Amino acid sequence: MGTLGYICLISSFVMGIFCLILLKFAKTRNYGLRAGLISNAFILLTSLVLFYLLVTSDFSIEYVYKNTDRNLPLIYKISAFWSGSAGSLLLWATCISVVYIIIYGIFHFKQYSNRQYMVCLTATTIIFNLAFLTVLILVSNPFKAVGPSSNGFGLSPSLQSIGMIFHPPLVMLAYSCFFAAFSSMLYETLYPQSPELSITGRLPLLAWIILTTGIVSGGIWAYRELGWGGYWNWDPIENSALVTWLLSTAYLHMLQLKRSNAISSRPLTAVISAIVFSVLFGTGLARSGILNSVHAYSSHSSKIFFPILLIIAAAAVLAVLIVVFRRKTELKDTGSEPVRLYIYIPPFLLIVTAMAIALMTVYPLFQIGGPEITEKTYDLVFGIFGLAIILASSAIFSFRHLSRKYRAAVWAASLLSGTVTSFLPSFAAYESFTRLSLSAAVICLISLLLGLLVNINSIFNDSRLLMLFIIHLSIVLIAFGLIGTRGMKIETSSVIDKNSSISIGKYTLELDTLEVIDQPEKKTWTAGLSCWDGKSTRALDTSLHFYKKKKVYHSKEFIISSFNEELYINIENAADDGSVLLRVSLFKWFSLLWLGIILMILASSILYAGGGFVTAQNLHKVKNSIM
């Protein structure tokens, strides 16, 4: 079966080359489109072969041997597909092919006749997949054979998590949708007189929803499995995903402006090209090891190959931009009054924030005796730009529907509430920037709620406007959650033994028992703790495992949750003499973070189901609302 999988890889590559040749030189492009479809079908067949090898535990294949064993549950044998470098790259190619085949099928069965778009989509899809296939064939073959073995090496304990079942496929699927959106934008720019396609116009929002869900699932996985005592560590690959998310959020804002004829297609092409480059750059980081990352796959060959691939990708994106910007584009005269400049502030701030994080991420590559960029540096920079973004977006959304007689009152009430918040005694112990952030978040919250109160009838009578209000409200809730979980976080660690204790906030933890179980495959330390919260005592257990075959430690945290705060407890180290190194973190307002995320994803999904941010029915409302 491994040979069949490799033959499918080669076949997909060959058909991809034929596809590009036929699209360029054949008299009819139908042959090129069919060759592209066959190439993508071979990628799907390749994935099915690898799935079969993993599920059946064929340890004669190196990838199966390194990432599974006979005792691994079926669900984790399936998720082992994307646990290694070769599998994750094949997963990405598969997601690209799935998106392509779905769009191809929709065009075929609905009998759309837009050949120019399908040519753009096919060419883009094939070029990206050829790059991945080149790596899979020459550098990272998932079907490489090894000697027969009775059992595999097993899957890393941290990857045996529900979060890792969903996180990589969601992120890869989102990236694949962005590639398709890039094709759509390229088509609209190269063929400006052609009609816009509704299916392709909704792809960016779908990609954004999937990427948001993927990033959140990754944060949950990190919080539950990696023992950081947090959900975000400003890791280079995490930063790459965040940069992509920020750019795509800016793209959605700008797409709405374009559909209301406020901007031309050139800025959108530049931003979607930046998104594609950000995605490819993150891929290079993950597989080259040029920057230290807990998520990186690194090998000697990949350190050489991926920087070269990155340079080629950058050159290709730059070539597209040059072609686009050399074309003349004009805005149609709609007879409306000029668009006000303030509507450009949110996308501008989002792009600047993305650039700042990207520059900070690559800074270690060029650092020569300069200052070190720490987690606090990232928090401060992102906090400053983040506050500017939510202040601008909340103010614009709230005040553009208010008459002048209400604006002054809403501003005054919002500013007064924010000022009072910064001087409340309950927040006096926190740093100045944390108090400033709280004030800004309160200003945004009050302005949104008062705006809702004044315009309650118009907002509730327009489902699109209501969903946009919920999205803006959810962003403010997320801001409160970020302030609480990062700016107001308390953390301590200490070595304790039996009948000694560690305190944090209102909680006191005392070690009652330490059970040590030494098995052939792993050694486990289980700490029995009693937790006093000022009112009552509860018993809890947390454990540390050492997996002998892989020689890795993995801790199992214990979390005590309430609406106001969350206590995170895990063992960092343990000794057989009865002592443990305990790490305890106390987060404020975790519930607001999760509530905001859920509301944002739900409201965005409802918007997508209703046709996206802008449809033919509500386009005139959007024009009026941004003037």
Note whether residue 366 is domain-resident: no
Q: Is residue 626 over pLDDT 50? A: no
Q: Give pLDDT, residue 616.
A: 40
Residues 106 and 185 in one domain: yes
502 and 566 within one domain: yes
Task: Give me the numbers of helices (H) and strands (E) for the chain, helices first please.
Answer: 20, 9
For tokens 């090209």, the residue is 273
Conformation bin of residue 335: beta by default, left when phi > 0, alpha when psi is -120 to 50: left
List the Cα angle 38/54/7 in 5-degree steps. 35
pLDDT tens string 442-474: 999 998 898 888 888 888 888 888 898 999 999
Residue 47 vs residue 190, higher pLDDT: 47
Q: What angle do CA 398, 403, 407 make, to 5 degrees?
A: 55
Is residue 248 pLDDT above 90, yes or no? Answer: yes
- Return the structure tokens found at 600: 């944002």
Domain termination site, one of 200, 235, 262: 200
Residue 501 shares a structural domain with residue 549: yes
The larger pLDDT score, comparing residue 577 to residue 110, is at 577
Provide the pLDDT for residue 326. Answer: 66
Would you say how long the chain is, in residues? 627
- Rounded to an integer, the average pLDDT of 555-570 is 88
Q: Does the residue 323 lie in any domain?
A: no
Q: Is 379 exposed, middle or buried (0-12, 13-18, 19+ CB in 10 A)?
A: middle
Closest CA to 164 of 73, 275, 276: 73
Q: How confident is the model at residue 623 (pLDDT cuts 50, 70, 90)?
A: very low
| Alpha-carbon Rg for the chain in angstroms | 26
**How far is it, in rounded angstroms, from Cα 163 to Cα 223?**
10
Is 191 or 128 the better-scoring residue by pLDDT? 128
- Short-list 15, 10, 282, 279, CA closest to 126: 15
Per-residue confidence at 621, pLDDT binned at 50, 70, 90? very low
In a domain, 391, yes or no: yes
What tens digit of pLDDT does each residue of 35-48 get?
999 999 999 999 99
* Least confident residue range of 283-287, 352-356, 517-521, 578-582: 283-287
In this predicted structure, what is the pLDDT of residue 221?
87
Residue 197 predicted with pLDDT over 50: yes
575 and 429, same structural domain? no
Q: Does residue 94 register a pLDDT over 90?
A: yes
**Statement to judge: residues 450 and 573 lie in one domain:** no
Task: For residues 157 and 98, give the distance between their C-alpha atoms in angstroms, rounded to a whole number.
Answer: 30
The reply to whether 140 falls in a domain is: yes
Flag the least confident range among 336-340, 479-483, 564-568, 573-577.
Answer: 336-340
- Proportion of the chain above pLDDT 90, given as a percent: 30
pLDDT at 618: 45
pLDDT of residue 21: 93
Output the six-digit token pair for 529: 């703790």
Predicted confidence at residue 334, as pLDDT, reads: 44
Half-sphere exposure of 263 (CA within 13 A, CB side): 21
**Residue 205 burial (C-beta neighbours within 10 Å; 0-12, 13-18, 19+):** buried
Q: Are residues 399 and 498 in the same domain?
A: no
- What are the beta bridge partners of residue 516? 525
Per-residue pLDDT at 517 exceeds 70: yes
**Residue 336: what pLDDT?**
45
Query: pLDDT of 139-188, one tens digit each?
Result: 888 999 887 777 888 888 888 888 888 999 999 999 999 999 888 888 87
pTM: 0.89
Tell me the C-alpha distance between 372 and 387, whole Å.
24
Measure the CA–CA gap between 249 and 209, rounded to whole angstroms: 10
Using alpha carbons, list the distances in angstroms from residue 484 to 247, 415, 427, 473, 587: 25, 21, 11, 17, 6
Predicted confidence at residue 350, as pLDDT, reads 93
Q: Three-state SS for 163? A: helix
* Least confident segment among 82-91, 328-337, 607-616: 328-337
Asked if the model's pLDDT at residue 617 lies above 50, the reply is no
Residue 274 domain flag: no
What residues make up the domain containing 455? 374-488+594-626
Same domain for 184 and 54: yes
Q: Is residue 278 part of a domain?
A: no
Q: Is the pLDDT of residue 285 over 80?
A: no
Q: Which of 372, 297, 381 lies closest to 91, judged by CA?
A: 297
Which pLDDT score is estimated for 615?
43
User: In terms of domains, do 68 and 196 share one?
Assistant: yes
Q: Are residues 426 and 562 in the same domain?
A: no
pLDDT, tens digit (0-9, with 9 covering 90-100), for 1-30: 788 999 999 999 999 999 999 988 877 778
SS (H, E, C) 55-82: HCCCCCEHHHHHHCCCCCCHHHHHHHHH
pLDDT of 625: 41
pLDDT for 209: 95
What whole-number distance in Å separates Cα of residue 301 and Cα of residue 286? 13
- Structural domain includes residue 224: no
Residue 170: CB atoms within 10 A of its CB come to: 21
458: which 2 tokens? 């118009």
What integer best gives the mean pLDDT of the chain?
84
Same domain, 44 and 171: yes
List the structure tokens of 353: 């924030």
**Rounded percentage of the chain residues whose pLDDT exceeds 70:** 85
Q: What is the phi/psi pair of residue 198, to 5°?
A: -65, -35
pLDDT digits (tens, 9 = 90+) for 352-408: 999 999 888 888 877 666 678 888 889 999 999 998 999 888 888 877 767 677 778
pLDDT score at 214: 94
Shared-domain flag, residues 435 and 550: no
Please report whether residue 235 resides in a domain.
no
Helical ranges in 139-202 per DSSP H:
162-190, 198-201
Q: Residue 337: is its pLDDT beyond 60?
A: no
* pLDDT score, position 46: 95
What's the mean pLDDT in 474-484?
A: 93
What does the pLDDT read at residue 302? 57
Q: How many domains does the chain have?
A: 3
Same domain, 534 and 616: no
